[in-house]
């Protein structure tokens, strides 16, 4: 038992000690990266400027008498109906994300183990909805889910009569899940396909049943991909307008519909902007948290993926 | 940590993938505690055999017995066989200590005992100081030692190593070869080592099983295999060799290989029928190259042939002389330079009859 070994292997630490140049230096170094300035300019004019305008309006444009520069924000955060709408929006976003994960994970996983032809077919099926217009797709759901529609007939046949699928958050969740599923499947597939499946074989040889090997080895490695996919879906649902407007009802409106109401019906630009900024800040917080978790998680075992 | 290995008994192992036969009836007995190497080119069936032993694939026919009990149909997670993979297959999200503890966790080993076993096995592979690192923070050689520790920690009776050193550079590989041998002696487990590297097989094994096209060519000790290969494939795969093809002739109890108008004597036809195609194999170090002169005329007996030197290569401790004779190329290795041969020299190549081995060519 008393055996000593001299570790002659080179240490990889020496390589990681080298510093990396900053992103700005790298961008300006190569002439080809000048190409990035055009889209940056476009973003500045068409996105950053209007955003700044909105920011200004949220502090300057008021309905009736003002209660200080934060009037619009105080109105939004202090009105019960508005808070109900915000909470509902988050609840729907949470449900949509969960449904997308439940449907999307097995699908993305399957994509990593089938042959190349089948995989191509599966990618095609995921992208299929993109080839038809969102309006058409949403109206298709209206037809499917309405009270005399095929889904209700089916539910009636198995004895469920009192479940309303249209004009409430159920319909919105179903519609949004279908629309947003590709946004979960594609990044998740990209992440899962990078996981070495031979690790599962190794786990089996070490005494782990397939279910245990999956939970203890595969799933932890899939966490960054799951976080990436779910955060995209969650954030997209927060800003969803069209699908909730058609499949939901004004009584069950989400935050995006409320912004439309404020801006185009009541011409309350300041209030609309304030709502938009609250949602934007919440989005940033969510993104920041996910990024932090992913980074900490990745740093421990992955190499060279972060900038 | 010391434990006893088990006997491994493989018989009639067959595996087909569509029209391709990966294994065509492999029979093999491995003694308890033995270090056996599966040697062969890629696609020869050595890894398929290993995967069948590990339970990763189900053979179409044949049986595998471990310690006298059939393990056919037993899933890999119940076989208690350690496996070391070429790409290490360490779990990247677990520290070294957790990687090594993984098989113990699956077996619900109590915490204290688990910590003790992990420490022990990490000491054996010399990595105690790196227990808190993640695999990516280790070099290839260190990672492979972690893999070795992980495959040994739960006390398997049989350890399978699938080209474990294939991804490492030469110097590191040689160091780890000796270390794996030492660990084998220390733990006493039966080792099955797969490689396509003949030098590695010679260094490490008690016995070598030479695979070719889904069957076993020969199973023997390194020395036996080198000095008495039974087939042309085994002779050529292990070490350098000079091969002369011909037809077997027998006159009474004397046997010879007929090549054109020449006949080379062979000692033992080993059951080969007269008239059958065969070959003799002579190792480069068994060939003696002499200049042509009056004292040593070309006697055209059964173990001499005239030749011409085409090249002389200096290889440090020895010189390799490339020769042209009988319309083919020969190589001879000389340890000391008694004669100074130059390209273009006419020489006589001689060997002793015992060193010309008859090998089957099918």
The predicted-structure confidence for B226-243, as pLDDT tens digits, reads as follows 888 888 898 888 888 899
Which percentage of chain A shows pLDDT scores above 70? 85
Closest partner residue to A12 among B85, B123, B139, by Cβ?
B139
Cut 0.95: pTM above it: no
Helices (H), B153-250: 170-187, 198-204, 222-227, 232-237
With beta carbons under 8 A apart, name residues in chain A contacting B141. Answer: 7-9
With beta carbons under 8 A apart, name residues in chain B contacting A202. Answer: 83, 85, 89, 91
Does the pLDDT at position B50 exceed 90? yes
Backbone angles phi, psi at B270, to 5 degrees: 50, 50
Predicted pLDDT of residue A23: 60
CA distance B331 to B313: 10
Mean pLDDT of B98-126: 92
A170-174, A247-251, B40-44, B192-196: least confident range: A247-251
Instruction: Tell me how far CA of residue A35 lies from CA of A22, A26, A44, in angstroms.
Output: 18, 13, 15
- In B92-121, the residues whose Cβ lies within 8 Å of chain A are 92-93, 102-103, 106-107, 120
Closest partner residue to A198 among B89, B123, B136, by Cβ?
B89
Does the pLDDT at position B295 exceed 70? no
Confidence of residue A295 (pLDDT cuts 50, 70, 90): confident
Q: Which residue has the tokens 């990044």?
A: A187
Which of the given ranges, A12-21, B27-36, B259-268, has the highest pLDDT on average? B27-36
Torsion sign over Cα A287, A288, A289, A294: positive
Residue A239: count other Cβ atoms within 10 Å of its Cβ.
Answer: 16
Contact A3 B120 (CB under 8 A): no
Mean pLDDT of B59-85: 91
How close A63 gets to chain B, by Cα (Å)?
A: 55
CA distance B141 to B164: 10
Does the pLDDT at position A77 exceed 90? no
Contact B134 A301 (CB under 8 A): yes
A31-40, B199-208, B282-291, B320-329: least confident range: A31-40
Confidence of residue B142 (pLDDT cuts 50, 70, 90): very high
Predicted pLDDT of residue B300: 53
CA distance A186 to A44: 29
ipTM above 0.85, yes or no: no
CA distance B217 to B209: 8
Residue of B53, B81, B91 to mutate, interface with A, max A Cβ within 10 Å: B91
- Environment class of A2 (CB within 10 Å of its CB; exposed 0-12, middle 13-18, buried 19+): exposed
CA distance B165 to B37: 13
Q: Which residue has the tokens 């080119």?
A: B41
CA distance A82 to A275: 9
- B89 Rama class: left (phi>0) / alpha (psi -120 to 50) / beta: left
CB B134 within 8 A of CB B92: yes
| Chain A residue with Cα closest to B156 | A206
Predicted pLDDT of residue A301: 57
Confidence of residue A304 (pLDDT cuts 50, 70, 90): very low
With beta carbons under 8 A apart, name residues in chain B contacting A205. Answer: 54-56, 76-77, 79, 81-83, 151
Predicted pLDDT of residue B157: 87
CA distance B313 to B289: 14
Q: What domains does chain A contain, in order, with CATH numbers?
A: 17-49 (no CATH), 72-306 (1.10.3720.10)
Contact A9 B103 (CB under 8 A): no
With beta carbons under 8 A apart, name residues in chain A contacting B91. Answer: 199, 202-203, 217
Residue of B93, B130, B142, B145 to mutate, interface with A, max A Cβ within 10 Å: B93
Contact B123 A3 (CB under 8 A): yes
CA distance B280 to B326: 13
Would you give the DSSP letter of residue B272?
P
């Amino acid at each position: 038992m008393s055996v000593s070994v001299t570790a002659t292997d080179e240490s990889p630490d020496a390589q990681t000690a080298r510093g990396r140049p900053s992103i700005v230096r790298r961008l300006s170094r190569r002439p080809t990266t000048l190409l990035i300035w055009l889209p940056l300019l476009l973003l500045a004019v068409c996105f950053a400027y209007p955003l700044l305008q909105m920011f200004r309006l949220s502090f300057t444009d008021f309905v009736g008498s003002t209660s200080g520069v934060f009037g619009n924000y105080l109105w939004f955060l202090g009105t019960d109906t508005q808070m109900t709408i915000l909470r509902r929006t988050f609840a729907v976003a949470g449900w949509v994300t969960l449904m997308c994960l439940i449907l999307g994970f097995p699908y993305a996983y399957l994509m990593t183990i089938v042959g190349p032809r089948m995989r191509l077919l599966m990618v095609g099926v995921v992208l299929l909805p993109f080839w038809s217009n969102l309006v058409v797709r949403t109206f298709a759901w209206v037809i499917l889910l309405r009270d005399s529609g095929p889904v209700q007939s089916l539910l009636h046949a198995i004895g469920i009569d009192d479940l309303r699928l249209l004009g409430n958050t159920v319909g919105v969740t179903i519609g949004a899940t279908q629309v947003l599923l590709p946004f979960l499947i594609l990044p998740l597939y990209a992440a899962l396909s990078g996981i070495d499946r031979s690790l599962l074989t190794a786990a089996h040889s070490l005494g782990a049943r397939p279910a245990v090997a999956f939970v203890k080895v595969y799933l932890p490695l899939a966490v960054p991909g799951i976080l990436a996919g779910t955060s995209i879906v969650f954030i997209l649902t927060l800003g969803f307008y069209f699908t909730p407007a058609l499949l939901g009802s004004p009584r069950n409106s989400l935050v995006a519909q409320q912004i439309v109401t404020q801006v185009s019906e009541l011409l309350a630009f300041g209030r609309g902007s304030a709502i938009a900024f609250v949602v934007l800040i919440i989005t940033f917080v969510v993104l920041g948290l996910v990024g932090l978790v992913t980074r900490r998680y990745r740093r421990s075992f992955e190499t060279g993926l972060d900038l | 940590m010391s434990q006893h290995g088990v006997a491994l008994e493989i018989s009639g192992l067959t595996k087909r993938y569509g029209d391709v036969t990966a294994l065509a009836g492999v029979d093999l007995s491995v003694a308890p505690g033995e270090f056996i190497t599966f040697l062969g080119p890629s696609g020869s069936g050595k890894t398929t055999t290993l995967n069948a032993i590990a339970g990763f694939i189900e053979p179409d026919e044949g049986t595998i017995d471990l310690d006298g009990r059939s393990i056919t149909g037993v899933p890999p997670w119940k076989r208690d066989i350690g496996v070391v993979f070429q790409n290490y297959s360490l779990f990247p999200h677990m520290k070294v200590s957790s990687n090594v503890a993984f098989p113990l966790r699956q077996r619900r080993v109590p915490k204290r005992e688990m910590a003790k076993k992990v420490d022990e096995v990490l000491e054996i592979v010399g990595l105690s100081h790196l227990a808190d690192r993640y695999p990516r923070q280790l070099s290839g050689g260190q990672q492979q030692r972690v893999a070795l520790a992980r495959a040994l920690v739960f006390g398997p009776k049989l350890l399978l190593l699938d080209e474990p050193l294939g991804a490492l550079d030469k110097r590191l590989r040689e160091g780890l070869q000796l270390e794996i041998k030492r660990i084998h002696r220390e733990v006493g487990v039966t080792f099955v080592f797969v490689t396509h590297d003949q030098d590695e097989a010679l260094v490490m094994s008690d016995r070598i099983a030479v695979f070719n096209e889904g069957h076993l060519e020969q199973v023997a000790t390194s020395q036996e295999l080198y000095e008495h290969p039974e087939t042309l494939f085994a002779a050529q795969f292990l070490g350098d060799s000079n091969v002369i093809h011909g037809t077997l002739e027998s006159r009474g109890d004397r046997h010879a290989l007929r090549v054109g108008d020449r006949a080379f004597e062979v000692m033992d036809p080993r059951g080969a029928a007269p008239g059958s195609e065969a070959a003799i194999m002579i190792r480069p170090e068994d060939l003696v190259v002499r200049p042509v002169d009056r004292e040593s005329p070309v006697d055209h007996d059964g173990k001499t042939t005239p030749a011409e030197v085409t090249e002389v290569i200096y290889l440090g401790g020895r010189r390799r002389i490339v020769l042209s004779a009988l319309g083919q190329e020969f190589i001879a290795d000389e340890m000391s330079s008694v004669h100074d041969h130059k390209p273009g020299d006419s020489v006589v190549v001689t060997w002793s009859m015992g060193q010309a081995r008859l090998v089957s060519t099918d």
